[in-house]
Structure 1
Amino acid sequence: MSDSGNWCLIESDPGVFSGLIKGIGVNGVQVEEIYSIDRETLEDLKPVHGLIFLFKWQGRDPAASGKLAPIEYDNPDVFFAQQVINNACATQAILSILLNSATIDLGEELTNFKSFVSDFPAELKGHAISNSDVIRTVHNSFARSDPFVNDMHDPSSKESEDLFHFIAYTPINGNLYELDGLQEGPRNHGPCPGDSWLDQVGPIIQERMDRYAGGEIRFNLMAVVDDRINVYESKMAEYQSQLKALQEKEGSDGLEIGSWLRSEIENMKGDIQKEQEKRTKQARENKLRRHNFVPLIYEILKGLAQEGKLSTLIDEGKGRAKAELENAKARKQAQGSTATGEDEDVDMYAD
């Protein structure tokens, strides 16, 4: 894998991913974070086009070799691109879902890109993604303006334990596929007629998480779904149509079914308002991500130092931190903690 090549790290955040999809020109879909992989949770988000899974990359896992689904090579019905550059895995996971969907409106840019690379081998598809000015520019527009965190470490480096990786799960032509750009090809997890893939994917992801030590909780799962406002508006229009038909037939909407329809219409209005508020918040957060606050912080600290207030504030901060750590240590001791080494660490950080 080559170096970062001007591809920056982006956050695992549904607002970022939704903005990235929109920035590429794709219409009618967004990304939602999910906290459970049970069928009921996924049912509420239908239609679900695919799942994006984030986990700590730990290289090839020999213990999992017997459990891995087979790799398919050169399947013309599956768009698969190998990841040839660091920091691009989030965007590649998103593209793996978008470019394998038969129902998503890709927009002009991505439609042309898919057509152009359709006959390329997987490695060349990866190079095409990394060299796409449009895709790279949109990806980098969501990079955090953080001078202290610039590039993801190379997986072969000594610090690879801090490397996190995105992969995608999506149904293609009646089969559930795992699309991981660090693999040689897509993994076929078997037939999934209809939307049964939502039942099949949960145990697969759970098994993957179970390979890690019990203390590892840094996983993230997001779903690419239809635009929620469009979904709510469509449901509301359907309920309104049913209510109108009921009123014309019965001459009144006072029946129990009429009350239920009116209640659902109000629920849809509330859901639309919540979604609009969420998008406003996400847009603000995305704007703040792009802003570099370091110069402002520097000037504030410089001003405090010139006024002779900085050292006092630092001492006060140290005092509060030490008090909080001592309180934490006392709570642990009250709970019967005997972790001497842990207590020594607390003292060390309190100095």
Structure 2
Amino acid sequence: MESGGDWCLIESDPGVFTQLIRKFGAKGVQVEELWTIDDTIFENLRPVHGLIFLFKYLQYEEPSGPIVNDDRLDKIYFAKQVINNACATQTVISLLLNCTHTDVDLGPELTKLKEFSMSFDPKMRGLTLSNSQTIRAAHNSMVQQAVFEFDPKMPVKYEDSYHFVGYMPINGRVYELDGLREGPIDHGPIIPEQDWLEVVQPIIMKRMNVYTEGEIHFNLMALVSDRKMIYERQLKRHLNEVQMLDMDTDEVEGEIARLRMFIEYEDIKMARYQQEMARRRHNYMPFIIVLLQILAEEKKLTPILERAKERSAKKGPKKLKV
């Protein structure tokens, strides 16, 4: 069985991942970017179903825990990555298919994938996933429009490779889901009344410390319940309380106003995600060509190029945010 078709690279962006999930047909969940891994950042995001970690791939990095190869694989959805550029989609799907929270609705496509492939071994699951036309089409719909095309025969400059993995709690233990491994990595139990995020925080920090000092090429995102859905649920509860108890206090009214503001913010955020995706996929080449022609005719192109070179030299190499 061979995996069919090419898979594009996906940008590490919460809007892209959220829209990707919805393209799969899943509901009740979205992705949020994390700027720190301190406890405080999770307070307004709970429930957190999993973490998505992007890092510079080291070919000979040893696993930070034992790799599961026993009968737990019958209950944990883990797919071996068998094609290039699919790690983003595989990480998201692995988190979704292992999530049992009532907020998460997998939808027909992912439900069918899980039911069909859970009896397979990890490699066969990976092949099944990569041969899903629906999932591949959703993945490739996230592609960013290439402004220039390069001759594949030309020598390619070596660039660092980056890889996505997922972390999540499953049956009382924290697992790392990395499609390049032979199975999930077991990071140990979650003790009673302990938040699973307390277990995973030092694991991620330790992994980041493996790299040389000054390395900042990391990105961390959280898979969380749909924020608008959460706020609408809370708003409905407050409105029912006001109606049933005939309450009309400033505190309750303030909370209702706050929730309505959060709902509006989520609507604005999702509209911005769609706008950003439209911009990613738009072909700006005709506009760029006309602009360059105008600048050249007005003899402004060379001075602009020189100023750009000067600014680039002062800034140094561009790096991803932590």
Q: Name the residue aligned to 1:320.
A: 307
Q: Name the residue aligned to 1:266.
A: 257
1:190 offset after TM fit, Å?
1.2
Q: Check 1:325–1:108 CA distance in 2 against 1; reply closer, same or farther (3 A cut).
A: closer
Aligned AA (2:254): S
Query: What is the rounded CA distance, in whole Å, between the counterparts of 2:4 and 2:146 in structure 1?
Result: 16
- 1:283 is matched with which residue: 274, 278, 281? 274
Matches within 5 A, 1:44-59: 44-59=44-59
Q: Name the residue aligned to 1:38.
A: 38
Q: Name the residue aligned to 2:96.
A: 98
1:49 offset after TM fit, Å?
0.9
1:215 offset after TM fit, Å?
1.2
Q: Name the residue aligned to 1:80.
A: 78
Report the TM-score, using the length of structure 2 for normalisation.
0.88
Q: Check 1:149–1:259 CA distance in 2 against 1; reply closer, same or farther (3 A cut).
A: farther
Query: What is the rounded CA distance, in whole Å, between the counterparts of 2:113 and 2:22 in structure 1?
Result: 16
Q: Name the residue aligned to 1:10.
A: 10
Aligned AA (2:132): S
Query: 1 or 2, which has the higher helix percentage?
Result: 1
Q: Name the residue aligned to 1:181.
A: 179
User: What fraction of aligned residue pairs are identical, expressed as a percent?
Assistant: 45
Query: What is the rounded CA distance, in whole Å, between the counterparts of 1:325 and 1:82 in structure 2?
Result: 41
Contact 1:174 1:194 (C-alpha < 8 Å) held by counterparts: no
Query: What is the rounded CA distance, in whole Å, between the counterparts of 1:130 and 1:21 in structure 2?
Result: 16
Moved more, 235-244 or 170-179: 235-244
Q: Check 1:325–1:15 CA distance in 2 against 1; reply closer, same or farther (3 A cut).
A: closer
Secondary structure, in 3 states, of the residue corresponding to 1:205? helix
Aligned AA (1:24): F
* 1:89 maps onto 2:87 in alignment: yes
* 1:71 maps onto 2:67 in alignment: yes
Indicate the RMSD between aligned Cα atoms, in angstroms: 2.5
Q: Name the residue aligned to 1:208.
A: 207
Unaligned runs of 5+ in 1: 151-156, 330-341, 346-351
1:148 offset after TM fit, Å?
4.2
Q: Check 1:324–1:288 CA distance in 2 against 1; reply closer, same or farther (3 A cut).
A: closer
Query: What is the rounded CA distance, in whole Å, between the counterparts of 1:169 and 1:187 in structure 2?
Result: 9
Aligned AA (1:271): F
Q: Check 1:321–1:108 CA distance in 2 against 1; reply closer, same or farther (3 A cut).
A: closer
1:36 offset after TM fit, Å?
1.5
Aligned AA (2:269): K
1:58 offset after TM fit, Å?
1.5
Contact 2:292 2:301 (C-alpha < 8 Å) held by counterparts: no
Secondary structure, in 3 states, of the residue corresponding to 1:49? strand
After superposition, what is the alpha-carbon deviation per residue over 1:264-288, rounded to whole angstroms, capped at 9, x for unaligned? 1111011111111111111101111
Unaligned runs of 5+ in 2: 151-155, 318-322
Moved more, 295-304 or 199-208: 295-304
Aligned AA (1:118): M
Q: Name the residue aligned to 1:24.
A: 24
1:296 offset after TM fit, Å?
2.8
The alignment of Structure 1 onto Structure 2 pairs a total of residues equal to 306
Contact 1:82 1:122 (C-alpha < 8 Å) held by counterparts: yes
